[in-house]
Amino acid sequence: MSDDNPHSTSGSARKTWASKLLQLFTGEPNSREELVDLIQDAEERDLIDNDTKEMIEGVLDVAELKVRDIMVPRSQMVTIDIHQSVESFLPIVIDSQHSRYPVVSENKDHIEGILLAKDLLAYGFGMTDEEFSLAKVIRPAVIVPESKRVDVLLKEFREQRYHMAIVVDEYGGVSGLVTIEDILEEIVGEIEDETDFNEDSKADIRRINKSRYSVKALTTIEDFNEYFNLELDDEEYDTIGGMVAHGFGHLPQVGEEVTLHGMIFKVTGADKRRIQQLQVTLAEAPRVTDAD
């Protein structure tokens, strides 16, 4: 039988989710809400899976965000002073495990450039006889305003091939930084790497953006309450993972989410025995205990 047969099960019967989704848009939604409803309907009809639905919704959300909404705030920036020696700043690089560092002079308002961790390799392995100097290896810093649209910045990241930008307020003071990963996480969810499940890590709760946080499941209810200024009951459960697992009523898989106490808990890490990592989204920006 010819493969051109329109009734072939290997032909038109196996359309991609994208072509099926396009069929839903023939009604021409007149608002974002109608478009979101169509996407939700597509998932319910198994035209797209939950991950695809969340990615499409993430793209829509990014179109409405400003850089100030997703930036790493000034207080959480890991910086290196341009006058530091390799011996003094190398522990910072090893401990934080970032790939890029703003290099400053005097304070965080004076950005001299960006240090790429990979640029240190040539000096550490004897690939050059040149004496090390931060001023010689740093790259130019890209400066963007808080009010810049995130989707526009993503396009610039891709076209100009840089991965980090320094964010300034209306007075020219540094208010934070933003990376291409920060934007991608708004679309596809948190991007975990092999160091994120290190049990010895001190960052039990890590801020992603203004209302979203990465939380280790073994974080105690007491610590969770203290960080977010909440009063969750800690008599029945010791950890936030225990509370969430009970909320699900079963051992959830990665990607599942549940709403508890006005917060959305999404599982971003789990094995066959327990939840490991959670992404917590709050309806309102919390009054957290660490300084912004």
The full set of domain ranges for the chain reads: 17-64, 68-187, 202-282
250/185 Cα distance (integer angstroms): 27
> Between these two residues, 69 and 209, which has the higher pLDDT value?
69
CATH number of 202-282: 3.30.465.10
Q: Tens digits of per-residue pLDDT, 128-163?
A: 566 788 888 999 999 999 999 999 999 999 999 999
Let me know if the fold of 68-187 is the same as that of 202-282.
Answer: no
Q: What's the CATH code, domain 68-187?
A: 3.10.580.10
Structure-model confidence comparison of residues 9 and 206, the more confident one: 206
> What pLDDT is attached to residue 271?
73
Is the pLDDT at 289 greater than 80? The verdict is no
| pLDDT tens figures, 256-280 | 899 999 999 999 888 767 898 898 9
More confident residue, 286 or 97: 97
Q: What percent of the chain has pLDDT over 90?
A: 33
Name the pTM for this structure. Answer: 0.56
